[in-house]
Amino acid sequence: MDAGDLRVFEAVARLGAMNRAAEELHTVQSNVTARIRQIETELGTALFERHSRGVVPTAAGRRLLPYAERVRLLLAEARRVVKDDGEPAGTLAIGSLETTAGLRLPPLLAQYAAAYPAVDLSLVTGTTAALVKEVLDHRLDGAFVCGPVEHDELVEERAFREELVALTSPRIASLDALFGERDLKIIVFRIGCSYRQRLEAILAGRGLIVTRSLEFGTIEGILGCVGAGIGVSLLPRAVVAEAARDGRIALHALPPAEAQVDTVFVRRRDGFASSALKAFLALARPLRVRSEAAE
């Protein structure tokens, strides 16, 4: 039983059929059958129950499955470690909330890309929950998300502290004045956006229950909608300061307990941090200090 065996085993277990596994592995069914049988005889245990519609793992197979993934991940990590000679290189996949990506990251990313041209840097945006999952599944090296996360397998460090402000149409003088409005909606980036729950809680604290919502993919979309009086949103102050100066929207400060939100950088605790990631952290950490000092 070596790494190759476990790869075919994993494919069969996941797809539930040697046929499809063979297809995915770019080989033929008989080959998969033979290798599975070989592993089974080597281990002295049946790993699958064969049925006419496919195969299902036996208890032993279910026990083996997690090891197939662990071995795969470990070998992949070994390859990366061997190639990583301390000079940041290769790929670095970072995740971020939409607002953080727009507000805080551009200078950081530009600086990083200039300093380490050998790194293939990629940035994906998403919600906190989605990004955390991506990090856990080894698809992202790390992510800026809404903290705290407090997950056993992750290590997090505070990156930025934002002041959230409520956004409304310029016609609205204060949050309390929202009571008169009809058909009010919560306007957020996406379903599952981290700020959404917080906004709902803030409004609920003022006696406003708003269940309908709109999702946008861009800041501009949110600003336009809020300005038109369609709803209320919650965003970091710095993101919307300009729009407020232009009179397109009104900002409503919140008490610190409601306004303060920490953006944390999460990464996996286990395994190894590539040189590319280490360099990124080294570049990002000073920002955190500056951000704290600015308050």
The residue ranges that bind DNA (CB under 7 A) are 4, 17-20, 26-31, 33-38, 50-55
Q: Among 199, 255, 249, 192, which Cα is nearest to 219's? A: 249
From the list its own copies, DNA, none, which binds 23 (C-beta under 5 to 8 Å, kind-based)?
Answer: none
Distances (CA, A) of 281 to 23, 80, 149: 41, 18, 18
Distances (CA, A) of 89 to 7, 85, 246, 271: 27, 9, 43, 18
DSSP, collapsed to helix, strand or coil, labels residue 164 as: strand
Taking the least distance from each CB to DNA, the nearer of 35 and 252 is: 35
DSSP, collapsed to helix, strand or coil, labels residue 28 as: coil
Least distance CB 18 / its own copies (angstroms): 19
From the list its own copies, DNA, none, which binds 19 (C-beta under 5 to 8 Å, kind-based)?
Answer: DNA
From the list DNA, its own copies, none, which binds 29 (C-beta under 5 to 8 Å, kind-based)?
Answer: DNA
Is the CB of residue 199 less than 8 Å from the CB of residue 212?
A: no
Taking the least distance from each CB to DNA, the nearer of 27 and 111 is: 27
From the list DNA, its own copies, none, which binds 114 (C-beta under 5 to 8 Å, kind-based)?
Answer: none
Q: What is the dihedral sign for C-alpha 186, 188, 193, 195? A: negative
First to last CA, the chain: 58
Is the CB of residue 116 less than 8 Å from the CB of residue 88?
A: yes
Least distance CB 292 / DNA (angstroms): 54
Least distance CB 70 / DNA (angstroms): 21
Least distance CB 115 / its own copies (angstroms): 23
Residue 64, judged by CB atoms within 10 A of its CB (0-12, 13-18, 19+), counts as buried
- Contacts with its own copies by CB under 8 A lie at 1-4, 6, 43-45, 47, 59-60, 63-64, 67, 70-71, 74-75, 77-79, 81-85
Taking the least distance from each CB to DNA, the nearer of 5 and 215 is: 5
Taking the least distance from each CB to its own copies, the nearer of 75 and 113 is: 75
DSSP 53: T
From the list its own copies, DNA, none, which binds 27 (C-beta under 5 to 8 Å, kind-based)?
Answer: DNA
Taking the least distance from each CB to DNA, the nearer of 19 and 213 is: 19
User: How many CA atoms lie within 13 Å of 136's alpha carbon, on the beta-carbon side?
Assistant: 12
Strands 90-96 and 119-125: parallel
Least distance CB 30 / its own copies (angstroms): 22
Least distance CB 31 / DNA (angstroms): 3
Taking the least distance from each CB to DNA, the nearer of 75 and 115 is: 75
Amino acid (1-letter code) at residue 1: M
Taking the least distance from each CB to DNA, the nearer of 19 and 291 is: 19
Give phi and psi for 293, each to the nearest 5.
-65, -25
- Where do we find the tokens 């939409």? 98
Least distance CB 44 / its own copies (angstroms): 7
